[in-house]
Amino acid sequence: MNKSVRENLFFILVAHACLLGQPAIAHAEDANYHPQNFSQPLTAARGTITPSGGGAFYLKPEDRCNLVVKEFGWDRDQCSTIDQLIFGFTPEIDNLTVEKPVSDGYVSLADWDSGDRSQEIGSIEESFKDSVKAQSQRLGQDIRFDGWLVYPQIDKGKNILYYANILNWGGDRTINISVSIFDRQGYVPIKIVPVNGNITSDDVQKIVTASAAAYRPQAGSSYFEYSSGDKVAGYGALGVLATMLGVKYGGAASAGLIALALLVLKKGAFLVLLPLVWLRRLFGRKKADS
C-alpha cells in the first residue's frame, strides 16, 4: 500500500524537529528522500534564499531530481532547470521552485510603459490559451486556462514581474503564481503553488512579497547595479512574460524562447514549463488510496 511521499516527508521533518539534531532521512515504501531543514540561507545560482519562518524544508539535487522524474515523468536532463525546490516556505505555500537564472543580459522594462501593453499582453494570453489547448490534447487531459487571479504586473521598486493564473485540471482549480526577479545579468524565475486553491488576489500579493523579499542577489549583481557596457537582452519585460508562459513573442525569439521551443518537442515538456501543480493533487490522491 503506497504512502504519500509528501506525508512521509512532513512526518520525518516533524520527527526530526522534535527528536534529532541532524537532517532527517525519509524511508518511504517507494522512495528514499532526505528532506533538509530550511533554517539557514540557501545558496542559489545567482543569490541566496533566506527562510521566511520555521517548518520549511528543501530537497538536495539528487532527491528533487528523483522526485520530479518518478512523480511527474520528467526526463533526467530536465532536472537541471531547477535551482532549488522548497516545501512549506510559508504556511500559505505548498511548494516554491527557484529555476536556473536566465542570463541573456540586463532586461529593460521600458516596454512595460508603452501604450499598447494591454494589447500585447492580450496577444501573449491568446498564445498561451492555444498552447494549453494543444498540450491538453497531447497529454489526453482536460486542461483549461480560466483567466488571471492577478493580472501580470511589474513592481519596479522590487524589480519583479509577477502574475497568478488559474488553470482547470479536469475540474480541479489550481492557482499558479510566477515571479521573475530581474538582476544585472537577466532574471531569476520563481514558480509558486499555494496551499489554498481558493486564495484571493490580496493573498497572492502577500505570497509574492514574502518570496521576493527572501531572495538576495549576489553582491554586484542586483538590477540597480547595471552599468553602461553590460550585456543587454534583446527583449524587454513583455518578452520575459511570454517566456514565463512558454510562448513566443515578437519577431525574434530570445535564447530562452528558443530553448523553450526545443523543450516543447520533448515528452512532458509542458509540465516543466508550469509550477509543480500536481504535488498537492498527487499526494492527496495517494493519501486517499492508502
Q: Tell me the per-residue pLDDT of 118-160, one tens digit each, with 9 for 90 and over.
A: 999 999 999 888 888 877 887 777 888 999 999 999 999 999 9
Give the integer Cα–Cα distance in Å for 140 and 134: 10
User: Mean pLDDT in the chain?
Assistant: 79
Lowest mean pLDDT among 144-158, 184-198, 244-258: 244-258
pLDDT tier at 61, thresholds 50, 70, 90: very high
Best CA proximity match to 127, nearest among 214, 245, 270 = 245
Give the integer Cα–Cα distance in Å for 89 and 186: 24
The alpha-carbon radius of gyration of the chain (Å, integer) is: 19
User: What is the CB neighbour count within 10 angstroms for residue 175?
Assistant: 24
pLDDT tier at 276, thresholds 50, 70, 90: low
Cell of 27: 524511508
DSSP 201-232: HHHHHHHHHHHHHHEEEPTT-BGGG--TTS-B
What pLDDT is recorded for position 31? 54
pTM: 0.80
pLDDT tier at 250, thresholds 50, 70, 90: low
Across 172-190, average pLDDT: 93
What pLDDT is recorded for position 87? 87
